[in-house]
Structure 1
């Protein structure tokens, strides 16, 4: 497999937000309900997106504040970053500022050096816990949009938007690479900019101010 099919992804966020659960759902199709603080774990998995097979190299990083200083410089070299927060814990969204500030500095470095900019997707995890929700879908979406990031809501427990989130990352990395080579606009599709409504599942439209299951389905929102 050539380098164009290799995509490195760093998963980051506050401790306990479900980073490892999301990663293991993708890699092993398992859900881990016991919280075991991660310092750093690496995984690899292949996925076919838009008819092409990609080799994904995932780094599941430490979320606990006392471990953040252990972030290796290599983590910032990734093609993409998945910033995860817990929809039942507002602080976990606030804590993404720490990771986003480092990513923004890395973006500037790459722009100055003429490299491909990293892709950033924000994921509001645990969307199956609607009764305990404290961060609305609108709040998560606006946080991501204000920083020019993509946005999804996920549930590692119920396997909601796990595959879709990583497929979106792959598509955006591929488009960023094409943009750098061609100098033209990103290749976009309706599915990447509009909610994806599955058959026999009712969802709310983005921005309707409701949270009664609006993203508790397979929805790509931005």
Structure 2
């Protein structure tokens, strides 16, 4: 049986949430911006030898639509919080969503504590098919999208990484247009959800509580010389190498791709 994992994608309007989702689901990209109220998608991915059924919810980013968030969105196993590297305001906007997720995480820890005191079986309580349990705090990943737009970057990778690290989130930079770190980001989410479920099933809720707001180890940019970091080349990046603010294919293979 495929293992179910639910993921809510959130962030400010125009940061590329729908582009990331459609790139993953349909291998499509469009430059046209069509504000989303809410869209849902289902797909399967085989990761580390296990097949997962991913339920994705692409949510509204505009302030006027945020009140329409359903409680089911907050019941997700993981949250992908997206900002636009060319807009500092879009990174600041993630604070709103981060607060919502943190409150949900605290509520789940309270549920787990009450369940443990009631003597409920851990295997049943934390089963991935038990959607009503909601005792495992959600995983949080921050994605700095549009990393191909180096010339108009407003948020350095180090700034995005630090923002994520302070809030217990994993971190990636992505490009839906160039298909950079799209599959890798969702694979990271799956692995962190699996890790969280295992810790909970083993009764290690105290360890989870210590890092309840995210439960992910932030990914760092690749070190260069003398301990510096290359902000234009992050861990796990596939595709053209971003050099000098421009896109430079690493080999003839990339020149043949049609995802530009």
Same fold, judged at TM 0.5 (above): yes
Is 1:81 paired with 2:101?
no
The alpha-carbon distance between structure 1 residues 210 and 50, as it changes in their structure 2 partners (threshold 3 A), is closer
Structure 2 residue ranges without an equivalent (≥5): 113-134, 209-216, 239-260
Structure 1 residue ranges without an equivalent (≥5): 187-191, 197-202
Aligned to 1:176: 196
TM-score w.r.t. length of structure 1: 0.86
- Cα distance in 1 for residues equivalent to 2:23 and 2:188: 16
Is 1:10 paired with 2:29?
no
Aligned to 1:148: 168
- Cα distance in 1 for residues equivalent to 2:31 and 2:237: 21
Q: Pairwise CA RMSD of aligned residues?
A: 2.2
Q: Which runs of 4+ in 1 moved over 6 A?
A: none
Check whether the contact 1:127–1:216 (CA below 8 A) recurs between aligned residues: no
> What are the superposed Cα offsets for residues 31-82 of structure 1, whole Å, 9 maximum, x if unpaired?
1210000000000010011011000000000001110010111100000000
Q: Number of residue pairs matched? A: 205
The alpha-carbon distance between structure 1 residues 21 and 111, as it changes in their structure 2 partners (threshold 3 A), is same
TM-score w.r.t. length of structure 2: 0.74
Greater gyration radius: 2
Is 1:158 paired with 2:156?
no
The alpha-carbon distance between structure 1 residues 205 and 40, as it changes in their structure 2 partners (threshold 3 A), is farther
Tell me by how many angstroms 1:193 deviates.
Answer: 6.6
Aligned to 1:200: none
- Cα distance in 2 for residues equivalent to 1:205 and 1:45: 37
The alpha-carbon distance between structure 1 residues 205 and 147, as it changes in their structure 2 partners (threshold 3 A), is farther
Aligned pairs for 1:55-204 within 5 A: 55-114=53-112, 115-184=135-204
Check whether the contact 2:168–2:218 (CA below 8 A) recurs between aligned residues: no
- Cα distance in 1 for residues equivalent to 2:186 and 2:140: 11
Aligned to 1:36: 34
- Cα distance in 1 for residues equivalent to 2:224 and 2:13: 30
